[in-house]
Amino acid sequence: MNCPSFESVPYKRSIMRTIIIFLLLSASTAFGQVSQYLGDFNKINENLMLGLGSYAVTNFVVGGIGYATSQDQAIKHFHEMNVMWNTVNLGLAVPGYLKAKRGGKALTLEEMIKEQKKTETIFLVNDVLDLGYIATGIWMRNEAANQGDRADMFKGYGNSLILQGSFLLAFDAYAYYLHRNHAKQLPMLDKVSVHTSGAGVALVVALD
């Protein structure tokens, strides 16, 4: 009984059909995985921006009431800075929420990986900036005694920067954690490749 030769045309055609079917199934699976991953990615951002926006609105309400009712000038400046600061937070949260809600265009696996890495980097950089806000707030509060007529402003603004920086430090660290944890679900099909030669077919998986 003769076994099919690697050199026979029918055998080669059979191998090629198998490869094509495998690649088509892999492409379909990868597309489905990336689409699902992108949906979850956007949902994380949607919830994060909703939380940031809610925090900003809370600061508007509490800050507005506090500024209007407080007799202490340092406290009035504290609430004043909270409102001003969260104007920026809300300005970031609203478009960020809408972008995540719409979902945007479909991404390839390579584009999704780049977007994932960019998002993680943004939150890490923000955490460094948040430490700067806290340090500035501490400096302003300590410097208040040397500011004469501006002492209340320095004290109030300093306390506000410490509060807002601390919130953002926790927020950005949590956001990074969520995205980093989610990244573990990224499909690794970009590390798989198929090579053919006269000697046969090889399925190569990059492990690094």
DSSP string, 72-126: -HHHHHHHHHHHHHHHHHHHHHHHHHHHHHH--S---HHHHHHHHHHHHHHHHHH
Which residue has tokens 């003769």?
Answer: 2
CB distance 78 to 157 below 8 Å: yes
**Residue 125, C-beta contacts closer than 8 angstroms, at least 6 positions apart:** none
Q: What is the pLDDT of residue 33?
A: 58
- C-alpha angle 42-46-52 in degrees, rounded to nearest 5: 140
Cα–Cα distance, 54 to 87 (Å, whole number): 12
Tokens describing residue 87 = 């104007």
Q: What is the pLDDT of residue 202?
A: 46
Q: What is the pLDDT of residue 21?
A: 47
Radius of gyration from C-alpha coordinates of the chain: 28
Please list the rounded mean pLDDT of every run of 10 residues in the chain (208 residues).
Answer: 54 54 44 72 94 97 96 96 97 94 76 87 96 97 92 96 97 95 69 49 45
Would you tell me how many other CB atoms lie within 10 Å of the CB of residue 163? Answer: 18
- Say what angle helices 151-182 and 109-143 make with each other, to 10 degrees: 160
Q: What is the pLDDT of residue 37?
A: 84
Q: What is the pLDDT of residue 43?
A: 93
CB distance 55 to 136 below 8 Å: no
Cα–Cα distance, 32 to 180 (Å, whole number): 21
Q: What is the pLDDT of residue 34?
A: 67
Give the pTM: 0.74
Distances (CA, A) of 30 to 1, 107, 109: 41, 11, 8
